[in-house]
Amino acid sequence: MAEETTEEAAETQVPVLSRLAPAPGAVRPRKRKGRGIGSGLGKTCGKGQKGQKTRRPFGKLHFEGGQMPLQRRLPKVGFNNIFSLKIATVNVSALSVFEAGSVVDAAALRAQRLVRGAVDGVKILGEGDLERALTFKVDAVSKSAREKIEKAGGSIELIPPKPRGPKKEATQG
């Protein structure tokens, strides 16, 4: 009786990671090409005699046999503006996590996970309601958000924009 319970316990045990193995027949040995005539894949390694498909590297990327390639048939679309700014937006409805009188800036918004990732600035938008007086130090505020913040008794301090473009060298004398 005791032997039966130990067998049942052994069957229901969680497998040990160090003893995991693939199912029998699941792993096949790799083909060892060019290892003699008896292997069946000797000499030409299963590629036949001559021709383009026996050479390496075989074929050019996107080459369609002389037909105009797809990437040249399709029109160019759009462009990437290298001077664009990524501005994070936060609605006033999400600002209820802050206590009354606290300073709301980019660091505080990141601490509350309202702003994530690399951003160039923060803009407060007017969606929702604000019940607390907060002090904002952000890059931009919408007109409706400004009205709601001032109505709640808060204040706004706009951060001046950072200089962009190539740095100008200081001229001497």
- pLDDT at res. 143: 96
Coil vs helix vs strand at 158: strand
**pTM, full prediction:** 0.56
- Predicted confidence (pLDDT) per residue in 24-58, tens digit: 999 999 999 999 999 999 999 999 999 888 888 88
On average, the pLDDT of the chain sits at 88
Q: Tell me the average pLDDT across 13-29.
A: 91
Sequence-ordered list of residues with C-beta below 8 angstroms from that of 87, at least 6 positions apart, any chain: 119, 120, 121, 122, 123, 139, 140
Quote the percentage of the chain above a pLDDT of 90: 71
> CB 162: neighbour CB atoms within 10 A?
9
- pLDDT tens for residues 143-170? 999 999 999 999 999 998 877 766 666 6
With 80 as the cut, is the pLDDT of residue 132 above it? yes
d(CA 132, CA 109): 16
- Say which CATH architecture domain 87-158 belongs to: Ribosomal Protein L15; Chain: K; domain 2 (3.100)
The residue whose two tokens read 């498909």 is 53
Euclidean distance between CA atoms 137 and 3, whole angstroms: 73
